[in-house]
Amino acid sequence: MASGLWFDVGTGNWRDTKGRKTGGPDLIDLIEARETRVVLAAAHLDHDPRNNRLSNLRALCQRCHLVHDRAWHALQRRLTWKSRYALGDLFEGPYRPGILGVATAQADAGSATNR
């Protein structure tokens, strides 16, 4: 539900966003309620997949797992871009990211074969 209420099937109670027992939603909210399946993922709190101690693991939904790893993914994306940039400079000349770089590289390759 938009309000964050959810129904705990195991106990038969409605719960709030923090998991505390609460009263159920009003009739309009109950009509608009839908059933959603939540898939949990094991998140490494220190971002090290080799560290599998229980104190380092949390079961998070996919959205919360992505939010937890947001800074880590940004760092990895930057490192990947930097390494591609360096490899492009080393083996293929200046790296031109994006679709314009692809079009330019194809044009350069086409003009080289037409000679």
Model pLDDT, residue 55: 94
Q: What tens digit of pLDDT does each residue of 2-22 get?
A: 577 788 888 888 888 888 888
- Residues 88, 92, 95, CA angle at the centre, nearest 5°? 40
Q: What is the pLDDT of residue 110?
A: 62
Summarize pLDDT for 54-101 with one digit per residue, the tens. 999 999 988 889 888 898 888 888 888 888 777 666 666 665 555 555
Which has more confidence, 86 or 23? 23
